[in-house]
Amino acid sequence: MSSLRCATPKLRNYFRDKYIPQICEALLCGLLVTCPDDPLRYLEQMIKIIIKNGLENLLWDMCIDPALKPRLRRLSETYLEQLFGLDDQLVTPELMVKACTFYTGHLVKSHFGGWKEVAIPRANQEAIMAEKMNRAIEHYNSRCLKSFFIHWFSYVKTTRERLVVSLLRLREMFYTQRQKLILAIWKEKARQRSKSREDDLISKHELQLRKWKYKLLKSKAVEEKPISPEQSASEAALSAVPVEFEIAALPDRAILLIFSYLSFRETITCGQVNRSWMALTHRGFLWSAIDFSTSKNIADKCVVTTLQKWRLTVLRLNFQGCHFRTKTLKAVSHCKNLQELNLSDCQSLTDESMRHISEGCPGVLYLNLSNTAITNRTMRLLPRYFHNLQNLSLAYCRKFTDKGLQYLNLGDGCHKLIYLDLSGCTQISVQGFRNIANSCTGIMHLTINDMPTLTDNCVKVLVEKCPHISTVVFLGSPHISDRAFKALSSCNLKKIRFEGNKRITDACFKYIDKNYPGINHIYMVDCKALTDSSLKSLSVLKQLAVLNLTNCVRISDTGLRQFLDGPASMRLRELNLTNCTLLGDTSIVRLSERCPNLHYLSLRNCDHLTDIAIEFITSMLSLISIDLSGTLITNESYCRTSLHLEHLDVSFCAHLTDEIIKTVAIFCTRITSLNIAGCPKITDGGLEALSAKCHYLHILDISGCILLTDQILQDLQIGCKQLRILKMRYCRSISMAAAHRMSAVVQRQEYSSGNPPRWFGYDSEGNPLAEPHNRMPVRNYSELIVKEAFSSDEESPDSNVK
């Protein structure tokens, strides 16, 4: 068999697997080179060597003596593979011959061509060299020209760029200089207009003050002028009675609007004047809302008669603090269309009277039962009869239990309830809050104040079943911590109010922009663990409108500046930084630039502020109320630009004099509330200017103004006709008789003629104390306590304080 190309695959695989061609190649190569005398024995020895070394290590020259091995390397793996037909290649011997012939011819041709170029030089070699030389010169010249052109182009480009920059700089300098010139001209004109406006206001003020003094002298002369014997008593009476506007000349609609502001007793009295007024007071418009809380000593019969007469008209009833008999309260059941009912502080309210009210008034939407003695019996009535109840207040009602809250889920239940107040209900446990969550799943506004037992677990239980909560008020709950904020993150909160909590830290505001993006009201009073990091977290809230951080004493200028640099400052409407004593002028100046919509600002007791910051603050045109009490401001910080200012508190600013009161009187004529308590340098002259100009003044606190005399009371009585609340404690130069006369003019008044206490910071002569007392207490307008009855030195507990 000369070839195995046509053999079976099994035979071919056998030859290949057993290395037959390689063995034969090695043995034949050894025989051809060695030429042994005994070839059989030689083959036998070589086969043993091959077996010993292994077929895997078989080489074609293994059987050749090293000394006789040729120095040529082989061309292929084995020649016998082709002989036996095991190479599996398409190249046949004929094709191999043709390939070798082509390669040899190509090799000879290439070598011959190279030899020809070397051996036979061209005849025109000199011309070729000359041509090459010319080409080289042209190439060199073009390279030089190109290099010169590149340098020239770079120079021209740089020069042009410098020229453009110079022109732009000249244009910028021209525009800047023109803007400076325009701004200087505008500033000068604005200054002139402002000065002219101020001069006009001052001149008008002086003219009005002269008229005021003339009117005051005239009124004194009229009071002191004796009646002559020739003048009759009737003429004297007519001359003493001023001409009043006749209300009958007004249209009925205007008179009805005036009557709508009267109390229940005043409306009844007006109905007894004449027939026309009686007809007007019998309009149903005036009896849609009846407030019995403002009147005292009303007979039960009058209440019953009124409710029976207007039972189909009345929509809102207010019995707050009233002490009526149970039979009287049963008359409420006649008001079938009643929607709002306030029974707070009614100690006579019982479960029986609530049963009658529930059966007769199914349409009640608002129900206030705070501070009453209701029990679980009343709680059982609420879901049975008040199916549309939306607002419910059970504050300080401590006689119902957790089971009473479970009753809210009976029958149709109180599932429409959106507002719930459980303040002071300390008897409620975690189970009670679970009952609330099961009964009032749609609640949105939750108020739980004065509950020391409230924990994070209670909040978590509420949030699990009430995901629509948007307002939470937890005042007086010291055990609430950051975990409560984490639980509330599932709700779309709009308003948060916390107070007096030491467990709330900066961590609660870390993710506030992701968890509460729509929040607009944050009230975190007396949370001393909050630092500048909290303000930085709050700076991203775009909807924030109210921020109260009273007594957060660790807040400084750094945190306030970070807050103001964010988008939260643009929509901020109210900001309270009372007792944030680390704040200085730099952050307050920034506040005046970044808060264009700020209306209410309190910087009470920020004693590091100077006139520089206050001058920027008072220049904010949007401000309506400013509290600067307890700061170190002086008369240099005028309110000349605060034309819309309505509330100003500069109490306990001991450096203020009449100058600032006169400035307020000239430029802030719309002011309605003024507090200058603890300002010992204020005299009658300042209050005289105030009385002559500020006719809309409702609230005035002059406590501790030791230089004021009885004259200011007469000025206030003539000029400030709308004055309702007057506080003049520790005014030792005001007599008791004058205070008695003034108490008949205002609605509420406080008076004492004792010396100022030590915490005012000065003695009875106005001299500052060597060791001033602690900082004054923090009080808001809502916390202002006034007395209707007159209080003298003997009645005041502070009269003996020195």
Q: pLDDT digits over 515-544, tens only?
A: 888 899 999 999 888 999 999 999 999 999
3-state DSSP call for residue 402?
A: helix
Lowest mean pLDDT among 26-30, 68-72, 676-680: 68-72
3-state DSSP call for residue 23?
A: helix
Q: What's the CA gap between 212 and 38, in Å, rounded? A: 156
* The two structure tokens encoding residue 410: 């009976």
Quickly tell me which residue has 């190279």 as its tokens.
114
pLDDT digits (tens, 9 = 90+) for 473-498: 988 888 888 888 888 888 888 999 98
pTM of the model: 0.67
pLDDT digits (tens, 9 = 90+) for 573-631: 999 999 999 999 999 999 988 999 999 999 998 888 888 888 888 778 888 889 988 88
Q: What is the pLDDT of residue 222?
A: 55
* The two structure tokens encoding residue 252: 């009925």
Beta strands in 187-346 (DSSP E): 289-291, 316-318, 340-342
DSSP 545: -
* 271-301 burial code (b ≥16 CB/10 A, e <16): beeeeebeebbeeeebbeebebbebeebeee
Q: Is there a contact between 605 and 776 (Cβ–Cβ < 8 Å)? A: yes
Report CA-CA distances (Å) from 157 to 149, 160, 252, 720: 12, 5, 86, 78
Quickly tell me which residue has 């074609």 as its tokens.
60
Q: What is the pLDDT of residue 784?
A: 35
3-state DSSP call for residue 662?
A: helix
Please spell the DSSP secondary structure of 214-245, one letter per residue: HHHHHHHHHHHPPPPTTS-HHHHHHHHSPP--
Residue 435's H or E segment, with its range, is: helix 430-439
Q: Virtual CA dihedral for 797, 798, 799, 802, nearest 10 degrees?
A: 140
pLDDT at 724 over 50: yes
Burial of 253: CB neighbours in 10 Å, binned 0-12, 13-18, 19+ = exposed
3-state DSSP call for residue 601?
A: strand
Q: What is the pLDDT of residue 227?
A: 41
- As beta bridge partners, residue 727 has 701, 750
Q: Is there a contact between 460 and 436 (Cβ–Cβ < 8 Å)? A: no
- As beta bridge partners, residue 341 has 317, 367
pLDDT digits (tens, 9 = 90+) for 378-407: 999 888 888 889 999 999 999 999 888 888
Q: What is the pLDDT of residue 220?
A: 60
Lowest mean pLDDT among 308-312, 355-359, 635-639, 716-720: 635-639
Band of residue 121 on the pLDDT scale cut at 50, 70, 90: low
If we measure between CA atoms, which residue out of 740, 693, 747 comes closest to residue 720? 693
pLDDT digits (tens, 9 = 90+) for 660-672: 888 888 888 889 9
Q: What is the pLDDT of residue 793?
A: 34
Mean pLDDT value across the chain: 82
pLDDT at 245 over 80: no
Q: What is the pLDDT of residue 347?
A: 85
* Distance between first and last Cα of the chain: 140
* The two structure tokens encoding residue 354: 């609530």
Classify residue 521 as left (phi > 0), alpha (psi -120 to 50) or beta: beta
Q: What's the CA gap between 720 and 39, in Å, rounded? A: 146
Band of residue 191 on the pLDDT scale cut at 50, 70, 90: confident
DSSP 421: E
pLDDT at 366 over 90: yes
Band of residue 4 on the pLDDT scale cut at 50, 70, 90: low
Q: What's the CA gap between 40 and 378, in Å, rounded? A: 127
Name the amino acid, one letter, at 684: D
Q: What is the pLDDT of residue 84?
A: 55
Half-sphere exposure at residue 51, Cβ-oriented, CA atoms within 13 angstroms: 6
